Amino acid sequence: MDLANQEWRMLIDGERVAGGKTREVVSPTTGKAIAAVPEATAADAERALAAARRAQRQWGRLAPLERAHVMRRISSLLRREAETLARLIVDEQGKPIAEARGEAAGAAEFFDYFAEFARRIEGQILPSDVADEQIWIQRVPVGVVVGIIPWNYPAALVSRKVAPAMIAGDTIVLKPHELTPLSALFMAGLFVEAGVPAGVVNIVTGSGAAVGETLVRSPVADLVTMTGSVPTGKKIMAAAADNMKPVSLELGGKAPFIVMPDADLELAVRSAITSRFANCGQVCICNERTFVHADIYDRFLEAFVEGTRALRVGDPHSDKTDVGPKVSRGELEKVERYVAGAVSDGARVVLGGKRPQTAPVDGGNWYLPTILTETRPDMSIMRDEIFGPVVPIARFKSFDEVVGIANDSRYGLSAYIFTNDMGKIMRTVRDIDFGEIYVNRIGPESLQGFHVGYRQSGVGGDDGSAGLEIYLKKKTVYVNYSGRPATSLMPY
């Protein structure tokens, strides 16, 4: 695809809209502009919301099976265009092509999975306190959804927000991140080709200050679902409060990766490497801090360094590349500040800790896979989300000690433990206060699971039947068929 000569258009009310001003999209690999996309205005955002409101009633009145038919057409088109989408993900986000192909495949899976709920959105029928009456609790569409997504999974997260909204009978206005809008705009064309009715899915591009603020504060929106950073999540929660609208926020993480002395050491090392360095460490559930029992610490560290040193940093378009560039120069410099701060605090760099001496591609945002030792729980590098290819490692002596350190975090998204001791596994499930626990395995999370965080990792969640609940609201109906006035038995 010739990105520079492609005319990128938003999707508003079923029409592809060019807008006025444009914003450049910069390649993480070369540091050069590769496309120009519309810079939406507040008026564009309001027009998209109005279109979503007009379309919602008719879309919500369709049988869920009819909505599912449209969704399956989308998944079919996503599979047809999977390679094009994967290469687009690489161009704008920088993850290696093998990972991008996985993301493109996952984008299609979301639509297939949520289409299965066409026959599974259930209500309840309850007995009444009076004769000849029933109480129905229905699950109905929440209405107009605003979806805001980050840059680390620019295609899969479109599907993660759009698919559950569609099957629930909602309409949606989605804003991709300014750094990575191309995947969403490409998918917009597939939504049109699949026959999604006008206004059901709208995609607007632009800044959070102008477009995002308008979408979140609008009284037209009935739900805001956002994946991104903690500071942005707090702003969204505050802005949404003006109209008392619900929010679902999946925010940052600081996942502890715990290795017990009885663990399968080879599995733990391999998993720790993959969990930290996939997508250049730009994953909310990734291994952000590694804790290894003192009895096996030296052996683990030796194997971990050896395995990490073997990773190939290079052009993400190559099938041979393991680690691509950081998404932006600002993100690269943030990682450098974290490492410099850790060294200043007493940490020791045993691998990496800098940009490569020779860049794989000139102009890219390159940083070598980095391992830090001699870290302490109070260091910033052990408390703040790095979101980059840097692993701080610490040793521990007892299970109770590491559980206390792991839980002492303002984040609470994902945690990992490697052990074959069933007692330790059960205590982990009971005592580790995180929304997702992975035992002897790493992510990604499954579609049928519930991706949920505690504390500042968010409220609400995504995926599975629990995630779908966010896109529905409950309606209680009292149905009296006696022909007589109903008399309440309650003393009020």
Q: Which residues are catalytic?
A: 250, 284
| 468 vs 290: CA distance, rounded Å | 33
| CA angle centred on 458, ends 402 and 271, rounded to 5° | 45
- Burial (CB count <10 Å: 0-12, 13-18, 19+), residue 462: buried
**Residues 91-118: b if buried by 16+ CB within 10 A, e if exposed:** bbbbbbbebbbbbbbbbbbbbbbbbebb
Q: Are 40 and 19 in contact (CB under 8 A)?
A: yes
| 108 vs 111: CA distance, rounded Å | 6
Q: Are 241 and 278 in contact (CB under 8 A)?
A: no
Q: Are 256 and 405 in contact (CB under 8 A)?
A: yes
Nearest to 439 by CA among 271, 252, 253: 271
- Strand ranges in 44-109 using DSSP code E only, listed in sequence order: none
Paired strand residues for 473: 140
CA distances in angstroms from 467 to 1, 9, 249, 432, listed in the order given = 35, 30, 11, 22
Q: Which helix (H) or strand (E) holds 259?
A: strand 255-259
| 96 vs 376: CA distance, rounded Å | 32
Indicate the pairing of strand 15-17 with strand 223-227.
Answer: unpaired
| 147 vs 48: CA distance, rounded Å | 12
| 381 vs 435: CA distance, rounded Å | 22
Q: Which helix (H) or strand (E) holds 37?
A: strand 33-38
What is the full DSSP assignment across 167-230? HHT-EEEEE--TT--HHHHHHHHHHHHTTPPTTTEEE--S-IIIIIHHHHH-TT-SEEEEES-H
- Burial (CB count <10 Å: 0-12, 13-18, 19+), residue 124: exposed
Instruction: For residue 386, give the amino acid letter.
Output: I
Q: Are 88 and 315 in contact (CB under 8 A)?
A: no
| CA angle centred on 260, ends 258 and 265, rounded to 5° | 95
Nearest to 417 by CA among 250, 264, 315, 244: 264
User: CA 158 from chain center: how many Å?
Assistant: 9
